[in-house]
């Protein structure tokens, strides 16, 4: 376990995760665009069952931000490409700061941030290249919540899993987080004593 923890905390592994998430996302999107284009070059919007109606592939273009929200509704004075560029730069700096602030022993949170970054870059490439994001994975959802889950892509999957890892890290690494908290409290107390003296 100790060796695995050290391996997950090494920057080459984190860089590899980012590269893998971007490459796998872009390759699957290229496949989707090719698969759903007919001989005339027009996009087809057929539905391909993968696991019956539970999981299927269909081509959808998201011209907005998360959950199809439109940037022009938030900042109408900015062209969409500039809006996404600025948001992506701010998000990248925020994620880098958050990554740096995480205790190095908390490998789950660090891996989660890396996955979020990789997924965000994958969708950012789409927005800069096509002014829209390619989505093609369509999953069913319990009908008492919604009819179907919003169509998504591999980048979205990396972001979702990354967020889940960050949120669940205090649950899975409870002892470590307790230890980190105690160390910070002791450090703060020592600092206060030092300042008083």
Q: What is the pTM (predicted TM-score) of this model?
A: 0.85
Query: pLDDT, tens digit, for every residue of 50-62?
Result: 998 889 999 999 8
Mean local confidence (pLDDT), 106-111: 94
Which residues participate in catalysis according to the annotation? 135, 156
Please report the pLDDT score of residue 3 as a whole number. 45
Window from 100-104, 137-141, 193-197 with minimum mean pLDDT: 193-197
Residue 119 has pLDDT above 80, yes or no: yes
DSSP collapsed to 3 states, the chain: CHHHHHHHCCHHHHHHHHHHHHHHHHHHHHHHHHHCECCCCCECCCCEEEECCCEEEEEEEECCCHHHCCHHHHCCCCCHHHHHHHHHHHHHHHHHHHHHHCCCCCHHHHHHHHHHHHHHHHHHHHHHHHCCEEEEEEEECCCCCCCECCCECHHHHHHHHHHHHHHHHHHHCHHHHHHHHHHHHHHHHHHHHHHHC
Residue 67 has pLDDT above 80, yes or no: no
User: Would you place residue 5 in the very low, low, confident or very high pLDDT band (cuts 50, 70, 90)?
Assistant: low
Window from 15-19, 24-28, 157-161, 185-189 with minimum mean pLDDT: 185-189
Mean local confidence (pLDDT), 89-94: 92
Please report the pLDDT score of residue 70 as a whole number. 62
Please report the pLDDT score of residue 4 as a whole number. 47
């Amino acid at each position: 376990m100790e060796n695995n923890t050290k391996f997950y905390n090494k920057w080459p592994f984190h860089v590899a995760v980012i590269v893998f998430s971007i490459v796998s996302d872009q390759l699957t999107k290229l496949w989707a665009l090719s698969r759903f284009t007919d001989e005339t070059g027009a996009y087809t919007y057929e539905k391909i069952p993968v696991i019956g109606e539970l999981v299927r592939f269909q081509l959808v273009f998201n011209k907005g931000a998360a959950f199809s929200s439109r940037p022009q509704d938030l900042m109408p004075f900015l062209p969409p490409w500039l809006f996404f560029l600025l948001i992506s730069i701010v998000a990248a700096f925020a994620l880098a700061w958050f990554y740096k602030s995480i205790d190095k022993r908390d490998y789950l949170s660090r891996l989660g941030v890396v996955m979020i970054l990789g997924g965000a870059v994958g969708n950012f490439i789409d927005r800069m290249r096509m002014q829209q994001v390619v989505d093609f994975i369509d999953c069913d959802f319990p009908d008492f919540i919604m009819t179907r889950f919003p169509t998504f892509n591999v980048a979205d999957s990396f972001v979702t899993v990354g967020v889940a890892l960050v949120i669940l890290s205090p649950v899975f690494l409870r002892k470590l987080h307790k230890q980190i908290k105690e160390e910070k409290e002791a450090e703060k107390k020592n600092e206060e004593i030092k300042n008083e003296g």
